[in-house]
Structure 1
Amino acid sequence: MPNYPAVAIGRAPAHAPRRARLFLLLPRCFFSALSTLFIATLLWLPLQVRAAVSAAPESAQATSAEPDLLQPESGLTLADALTQLLRNNPQLKLADLTLSDANLALTQASMAPAKTLSLTLDNLTGSADLQNGRQLEAGLTLSSVLERGDRQSQRQALARSVYAQAEVQRRANALAEIAALSDLFIRALTRQQQTELAANALESARAVVADVTARVTQGAAPAAEQWRAEAALLQAEVDLSQWQSERDVLRQQLARYLNPNKNPEAAAMTPLRGDLFRLATLPDYTQTLQALRNSPDHQLLALQAQQQQAQSALTRSQSATDLQWQLGLTWGNERNSTALNAGLSVPLFSGERNRAALQQALNNETRAGLEQQLGEREREQVFFAVWSERQQAAAALSRYQQSLIPLLTRAVRDTRNAYLRGRYGYSEWASAQQALLQAQFQAIDSAARAQLAHTRLEQMSGLALTDDNRHASDQPLTFTQDH
């Protein structure tokens, strides 16, 4: 047997060639690298799992939360607010449930009177000849009511009236919610505009103090003028603080209206975007009055009257006598016989018993018609008053922008120049500034009144009232959001 030298696994003998020794070292290098990689993986994996677990709540919260439309860096527009309102408003969800109930009631009203199947067992047991069911009689009877006076059709008409009323009420509720949000948005935007004007007035007051102080230092004006200018500066700071407080309160109310869980501090920092001074031109009064007569609120008045008419018709149909019928089979054990039975029941004096209910229904029908007339007349009067308010506010805003404010701006500039040259005193300059600031605040107030009246008109008419485009009531309110 040949004598082979002993060779350890993984180690090349000293006399082996160099290539053979490298070939024998490769398995050791491979297993060593694999072990190192395995250990590094065991150390790295727990760190990644821990990081993923810690980041999971934040990621889940960011994924599950709805997109927040109240972003301070971008500002909130009316379109964004309306989108969030229509998506999450509980009032509209309640209206959907009411509409669903009305639909179910309509389905129920379409059903015919129920049929009854009765099984009777007579002489089931007893004494003497009646023992063990010798004279047992079994009866199977089918019975129902034959309605007269077209009762089923009248029930369906009443249910359809209730369904139509619920459907229009849903549209009216949507318009009311949109108008309420638009009203709050306009008032908040007005306070924001007034706050910006107060901030500009504060900067102007600082500049006035600097000019007056320079003249007092030069000896060209008494020190009392500097004190008055400094007092006016303090008053401007107080006014700005008050405007800021009212602005923040309205912003918080707007944010809580859209999202009750909104952080009040974050809501107060959220600016609003909107052009308060851009007014849409209304169509003529005749067209808008016709839109009012076709509005959901007007339709509700008419539908309420129609519902009372349907109720009266149903009550009148109940004066007709209903026929109760039954048809059955009877089997007798004693003779092993079968008999056919029929029956008919007629209530007496149904019309007399229903006379009071019918008269009450007719009174309600008359009352609903009168309430419809009074309601339509009152709504048209309110509509005309709001229309006049809107036109007056728009005309006042136009006068302020085109005439009064430019004149007062020129007066303030000329008065300041005259004061710096010593021709006027501080009182003339301060009076001109106060008149300009008051006119600017009144212009903002006129714009706000015009926008609020316009929103009210659109709610009452159910249309987006513009001069060139009028949409259906599912796209109301054309208050401009962006600059």
Structure 2
Amino acid sequence: MQRNVLPYQQQKLVAQVAVVVLALFAFLRPVAETQEQAGTLTISYEQAVFYSLQQHPRLAAYEFRRQAAAARTIQAGVGPRPELGVEIEDVAGTGNFNGTQNAQVTVGVGWVLQCDVIDKRVQASRIQASLIETEQQIAALDVAADTARYFLQALAQQERLSLAQHAKREARHGLEDIRRQVQAGKLPEAEASRARAELERRSLAAEDVEHEYIISKYQLAAQWGDRHPRFSALKGSLAVPVATIDIAWLQEQVSNNPQLTLFLNRDRIAEADIALAKAEAGIQWRIDAGIRRLEEVDDYSLVAGITIPLGRSNRNIARVNALMAEQKRYQVEQSAQSIALETQVYVMAQQLLHSRHVSEAFAHRIIPSLQRALADTRNAYQLGKYSYYELAAAERDLIDARLSFLQAQYSTRLYWIEIEKLTGLSLAQPLPVSPPGYEK
């Protein structure tokens, strides 16, 4: 499947933002053997992020905003027009000045010297344009994080569906076994009725998860503008453990967050506006030069003049003070935002550690214990010591534990998405400049 290739500047931005979250799913790269053998159309996390960064409607407008900013910067470098003036003196009067014999005609050009003002105006416009790139980075990071959540949600539903279908098969096998025993007179019909009810419950549970799985795939595909998902499965697994994290180090990485860069850019914009306001309040000389025609002596002469505005050079003091107040506000808000981000990182990291602890408890202690309990219960059931009710209860306990384990893994990775977004970490290699397309 071919995709439109972005301009180089956008490709560079896509790669820069994508690597911020790629490490989140480095563990999602393995592909299930059954999917590859069956030729199932799959999509990876890297592809999903790249497609969304390349084609999400929210990001498309930034290219036009950059074009508009570039045009405004060019316009800022345009100075005032020179003025052509024509002046006629000593005509249509009385006496010696009757008629045009003593006329004096002056043709001149005047212009205002604004070199410093123009430079400051261009500089302010360029810094203002840089704000757009930072805003685009924030928007792209939001899109990438949303895509990560949708991918993670679809992946979790895919694994839940696998568990539900496995439980459904186990229930069907159990029903078939009980029917044989009922026909042989070893079990009462009530056991078969319970088994049929259990199969119906697990069939409904599988159907519910399948509906959620379909919805999550549609939500994921919508991130890059597809009305219908052109993939049937997702590459990856939630079973790979999350690496150890250092909370203090993560809090230090908050400085990479584009939201803080946004405050820095606004601070620079205020600084440039202050410089421009001071330059505009300064003395701007006007120079006039021209040629004068003297009819009385049939001769020409050069004329020149300089106009210097009067008054104080601090006429923009109120505007400068307002801009300085805005600049200090940005600095205070940046400090407050930094503290808030560090706090969020700490909270997300603590939540991640707890979810990982829960996940490890299910993986290493709870699920193995329930597996042994199920095996013992199944043996006792086959010996006639337990009823189907005890066997079904043991199977449900194991299924619930596996679902809880999956939920803990899912939560762990959700928290890691937030940490990646808050810290702006770049922990993986950049993506290629053009999307590879879906793979079989």
- Shift of the 82–360 alpha-carbon distance from structure 1 to 2, 3 Å rule, reads same
Q: Does 1:323 pair with 2:285?
A: yes
Of 138, 142, 146, the residue aligned with 1:172 is 138
**Equivalence for 1:82:** 49
| Residue 205 (structure 2) aligned to one of 236, 239, 246 | 239
Contact 1:248-1:268 within 8 A present in 2 as well: no
Q: 1:464 to 1:395 in 2, by over 3 A?
A: farther
Contact 2:87 2:105 in 1 (8 A): yes
AA in 2 matched with 1:198: A
After TM superposition, give the deviation of residue 351 of structure 1 in Å: 4.8
Q: Deviations over 1:339-389 (max 9, x none)?
A: 333333344445564233222212211211111111111111112222222
CA distance in 2, matches of 1:131, 1:348: 38
Select the structure of larger CA radius of gyration: 1
For these two proteins, the number of residue pairs brought into alignment is 401
Match of 2:219 among 253, 273, 292: 253
The residue type equivalent to 2:88 in the other structure is D
SS in 1 for 2:232: coil
Tell me whether 1:159 sits opposite 2:125 in the alignment.
Answer: yes
Aligned to 2:112, the other structure's residue is in SS state: strand
State whether structure 2 residue 167 is matched by structure 1 residue 201.
yes
Q: Judge which range, 100-109 or 420-429, deviates more.
A: 100-109
Match for 1:382 among 335, 344, 351? 344
Instruction: State the alpha-carbon separation in 1 of the partners of residues 249 and 3 from structure 2.
Output: 45
Post-superposition CA distance 1:259-288 (Å, at most 9, x none): 33x4x3xx2761111122224425523333
Q: How does 1:157-306 map to 2 (within 5 A)?
A: 157-260=123-226, 262=227, 264=228, 267=229, 270-306=232-268
Write out per-residue CA displacement over residues 231-286 of structure 1, whole angstroms, 9 at most, x where no aligned residue: 121111111111111111111222232233x4x3xx27611111222244255233
Contact 1:123–1:130 (CA under 8 A) maintained in structure 2:
no
Answer yes or no: is the 8 Å Cα contact 2:157–2:212 preserved in 1: yes
Equivalent residues of 1:389, 1:453 under 8 A apart: yes
Q: Does the CA-based 8 Å contact 1:95-1:170 persist in structure 2?
A: yes
Q: CA deviation at 1:196?
A: 1.2
Letter of the 2:143 partner, please give it: E
CA distance in 2, matches of 1:274, 1:259: 23
Q: Where do 1:358-377 residues align within 5 Å? A: 358-377=320-339
Contact 2:87/2:106 (<8 A) preserved: yes
In 2: Cα distance, 1:112 partner to 1:258 partner:
40
Going from structure 1 to structure 2, the CA distance change for 1:188 and 1:165 (only over 3 Å counts) comes to: same
CA positional deviation for 1:198: 0.8
Deviation at 1:201, TM superposition (A): 0.9
Preserved CA contact (<8 Å) 2:164 2:206: yes
Q: What SS does the corresponding residue of 1:143 show, helix, strand or coil? A: strand
Q: Answer whether contact 2:106 2:290 (CA < 8 A) is retained.
A: yes
Unaligned runs of 5+ in 2: 6-35, 433-437
1:120 is matched with which residue: 73, 86, 89? 86
CA contact (8 A) 1:251 1:268 kept: no
CA distance in 2, matches of 1:269, 1:355: 62
User: Letter of the aligned partner of 1:436 in structure 2?
Assistant: L
Rounded Cα–Cα distance in structure 1 between residues aligned with 2:154 and 2:66: 34
| Greater Cα offset, 277-286 or 398-407 | 277-286
| Deviation sequence 1:102-142 (CA, Å, 0-9, x none) | 34444444x37435040415379969999986555443323
Query: What TM-score does the superposition give when structure 1 sets the normalisation length?
Result: 0.73
Match of 2:107 in 1: 140
Which residue does the alignment assign to 1:96? Answer: 63
How far apart, in 1, do the equivalents of 2:67 and 2:242 lie?
Answer: 38
Give 1:355's aligned residue. 317
Residue of structure 2 in register with 1:461 after alignment: 423
In structure 1, what residue type is equivalent to 2:320?
A: L
2:343 partner letter: Q
- 2:244 & 2:124 partners in 1: Cα distance? 39
Residues 136-170 of structure 1, C-alpha deviation per residue, up to 9 Å, x if partnerless? 5443323222349x544533442342233233333
1:312, distance to aligned residue in structure 2 (A): 2.6
Q: Quick check: 1:189–1:274 contact (8 Å CA) kept in 2? A: yes
Q: Contact 2:91–2:99 at 8 Å: present in 1 too? A: yes
Q: Residues 131 and 222 (structure 1 numbering): CA distance in 2 closer, same or farther, change over 3 Å? A: farther
Displacement after TM superposition at 1:408 (Å): 1.0
**CA spacing shift, 1:347–1:125, aligned 2, 3 Å:** closer
Which one is further off, 352-361 or 367-376?
352-361
